[in-house]
Chain A
């Protein structure tokens, strides 16, 4: 690369910023649309009951020492006897999520709805971006990158001589699409972040489709990967925040450098995402290799059962007579 390209400030004003604003607005709009379309489903009786059983068993485990031994033993028998204990899961009946998915057409229907609400606006915005903003070099990131990033950052510009740190407008669109997630969780509140995340919904469903096609994945492990992603995202958001404070100080130098910093943040965001995705796919690969696959609910129950079975009951109350004496002595004196 011989010399730097000089980017027109009009590109910043008419491509970079409008594109970002539009992406944010679309994200917000999509959030509300998907909220409208989300069908209120009645929870399954079995699922509700199982959740409650697990809570109660957990309470029993945590508070076991506060009730007399006889009461504890009676409860343990009620929860974990081999015939009809609440926590006892008969062998082979641990429901596996794939079977659950096929048995419940509502679930597939829901997924379709969510997918549609993702795909249609995405296609439209992509067409719009292609039509209006194709071929711009929109921004430059402030650090050098290797050639491998070219396809990611310079989508739509087929020039091998342009330095990789320049970002094309179409790539900017993609970075926005995948990288605005953290920002949305700030705008729309935390609740959407976990389950009904916008930029993520399509991704989740792709994963579920993968699951359907036999590539076994465990939702809990996906959750773990997601948490890693979220962590990285929030770090990047902090970076963004500190940058915007910095910008207040250097208002004069805002011009191009602001765009560059934003680009850097976006890149970080998308990198974080891919690292997270990588992380939990490897997790699942290892699980698949080990061959441990089980339904989530059944596993929960039997885990609770094991926890109850190994617990040693030691009534804590006799200790409290001495402690009461101590408390009273303190009170009287």
Chain B
């Protein structure tokens, strides 16, 4: 997770580098540390350092880290020639390295020669069956080929061993959602909530899944998870506010005719719609009419 201060620092550094203010290496280090994906910039500034032999040699042993970073960024930008050059330099320097082997496999993957890449990855896994990066690359590769169920299988196998890896759970949840397998996705989001209970996005996604699943019980639960998202974000999350409104209206429809047990729910809903209205007034007053129309169709009061 990248915090807000880190992001502003990164953006400031990026604009500084873009405008020729120097600090390219610091920028690249920060990108690496935060593990953010800014491949275009990394490629541009990294190459600028690598092409200048004086700057390059002043890095000392960090030079090779930069080669690796630029190679990955180049693959991401489909500048395969650059990537190939970088990998070749590394290959010459570290002929036996597994890390370079991984890069070579990734290069094959970027070229789209899936078969060869798969072969390379499996031989890497034979050497070290606990290389998490290689496992993840394989999943990504299968996913890139459009074989989502294959990706699910691989991820499940991976999670059997590395069951504390929440990024993998998140990926699995998103794949399940894209296949409309909501129950499985809900399980994954529960797992994510367990590992990081203070991240509002997971609560929100879980609530979305529950709402999509439908049924009175799930709707009630979904509403609770929208509430926790509101609490954690201080009411700044528009999606959660809409979620409260939708849930309330759906619950009201389902429990029509039955005796009403939920007494305090209209309160929360009216508060949510009031908050939405206020926000729309402030930021997008031209869309306010659309909002009131939406409220009308939902049959909720504001």
Least CB distance, A51 to chain B, in whole angstroms: 8
Choose the segment among A101-109, A232-240, A325-333 that binds chain B (4+ C-beta atoms closer than 8 Å).
A325-333
Chain A residues, CB < 8 A from B264:
321, 325
Least CB distance, B54 to chain A, in whole angstroms: 30
Known: A45-B161, A48-B130, A317-B225. A332 touches B231 (CB 8 A): no
Kindly state whether residue B99 has any CB partner on chain A within 8 Å. no
Q: How many A-B residue pairs have CB under 8 A?
A: 98
Most buried by A among B187, B223, B224: B224
A324 CB–B CB distance under 8 Å: yes
Confirm or deny: B291 has a beta carbon within 8 angstroms of a beta carbon on chain A. no
How many residues on B have C-beta within 8 angstroms of the other chain's C-beta atoms?
A: 36
Q: Which size class do A's interface residues fall under? A: 20 to 34
Q: A48-B130, A317-B224, A320-B224 are in contact. Are A325 and B163 (CB under 8 A)?
A: no
Stretch at the interface among B78-86, B138-146, B174-182, B191-199: B191-199
Most chain A beta carbons < 10 A, residue from B163, B234, B267, B274: B163
Q: Chain A residues near B271: list those with CB within 8 A.
A: 325, 328-329, 332
Stretch at the interface among A3-11, A55-63, A134-142, A168-176: A55-63
Are A321 and B227 in contact (CB-based, < 8 A)?
yes
Whether, in the assembled complex, B275 has its beta carbon less than 8 Å from a beta carbon of chain A, the answer is yes
Interfacial chain A residues near B268, Cβ < 8 Å: 321, 324-325, 328
Q: List 23 A-B contacts (CB under 8 A).
A: A45-B130, A49-B161, A52-B161, A55-B164, A59-B195, A63-B195, A66-B194, A67-B190, A75-B190, A320-B224, A320-B231, A321-B264, A323-B228, A323-B231, A324-B227, A325-B264, A325-B271, A327-B230, A327-B231, A327-B234, A328-B230, A328-B235, A332-B274
Evaluate contact between B164 and A328: CB separation under 8 angstroms.
no
Complex: A59 Cα to B193 Cα, angstroms: 9
Give the 8 A-B residue pairs with the shortest CB-CB distance, closest first: A324-B227, A55-B164, A317-B224, A328-B271, A324-B230, A63-B194, A331-B235, A320-B228
Quick check: is B184 within 8 A (CB to CB) of the other chain?
A: no
Scan residues 74-108 of chain A and give those whose CB is less than 8 A from a CB of chain B: 75
Q: Is B110 an interface residue (CB 8 A)?
A: no
Q: Closest approach, in angstroms, between the C-beta of A307 and any C-beta of chain B?
A: 14
Query: How near does chain A come to B91, taking the closest CB pair, in angstroms?
Result: 20
Q: Which residue in chain B gives the minimum CB-CB distance to A329? A: B271
Of residues 111 to 166 in B, which have CB atoms within 8 Å of A's CB atoms? 128-130, 161-165
B197 and A66: CB pair below 8 A?
Answer: yes
Q: Any chain A CB within 8 A of the CB of B296?
A: no
| Residue A255, interface by CB 8 Å | no
Contact B161 A48 (CB under 8 A): yes
Chain A residues in 8 Å Cβ range of B235: 324, 327-328, 330-331
Measured in the bound complex, the distance between the Cα atoms of B267 and A325 in whole Å is: 8
Known: A325-B271, A328-B235, A332-B274. Contact between A45 and B224, CB under 8 A?
no
Return the CB mask of B180-215 against A: 1 if under 8 Å, else 0.
000000010011011101000001000000000000
Residues of A within 8 A of B (CB): 42-43, 45, 48-49, 52-53, 55-56, 59-60, 62-64, 66-68, 71, 75, 317-318, 320-321, 323-325, 327-332
A324 and B129 within 8 A (CB): no
7 further interface pairs, Cβ-Cβ under 8 Å (given A328-B275, A332-B271): A52-B165, A67-B193, A317-B224, A320-B231, A325-B267, A328-B272, A331-B235
| Centre residue among B129, B194, B195, B278 by max chain A CB count within 10 A | B194
Q: Does B221 contact A (CB under 8 A)?
A: yes
Partner of B228, one of A48, A56, A324, A332: A324
Shortest C-beta distance, A85 to chain B (Å), equals: 14
Q: Report how far A331 CA is from B244 CA in the complex, Å.
A: 16
B193 and A53 contact, CB distance less than 8 A? no
Residues of B within 8 A of A71 (CB): 187, 190
Q: Determine whether the beta carbon of A60 is less than 8 Å from that of B275.
A: no
Given A56-B163, A324-B228, the answer on whether A68 and B234 have CB atoms closer than 8 Å is no
CA distance A323 to B161 in the complex (A): 38
Q: How far is the CA of A323 from the CA of B264 in the complex (A)?
A: 13
Query: Chain B residues with Cβ under 8 A from A320's Cβ?
Result: 224, 227-228, 231
Instruction: List which B215-272 residues lie within 8 A (CB) of chain A.
Output: 221, 223-228, 230-231, 234-235, 244, 264, 267-268, 271-272
Nearest chain-A residue to B235 (Cβ)?
A331
Within the assembled complex, what's the spacing in Å between the Cα atoms of A318 and B128? 46
Complex: A328 Cα to B268 Cα, angstroms: 8
- Assess A53 versus B129: contact at CB under 8 Å? Given A63-B195, A324-B268: no
Whole-angstrom distance from the CB of A66 to the nearest CB of chain B?
Answer: 5
Query: Which B residues lie within 8 Å of A56 (CB)?
Result: 163-164, 191, 194-195
CA distance A75 to B193 in the complex (A): 13
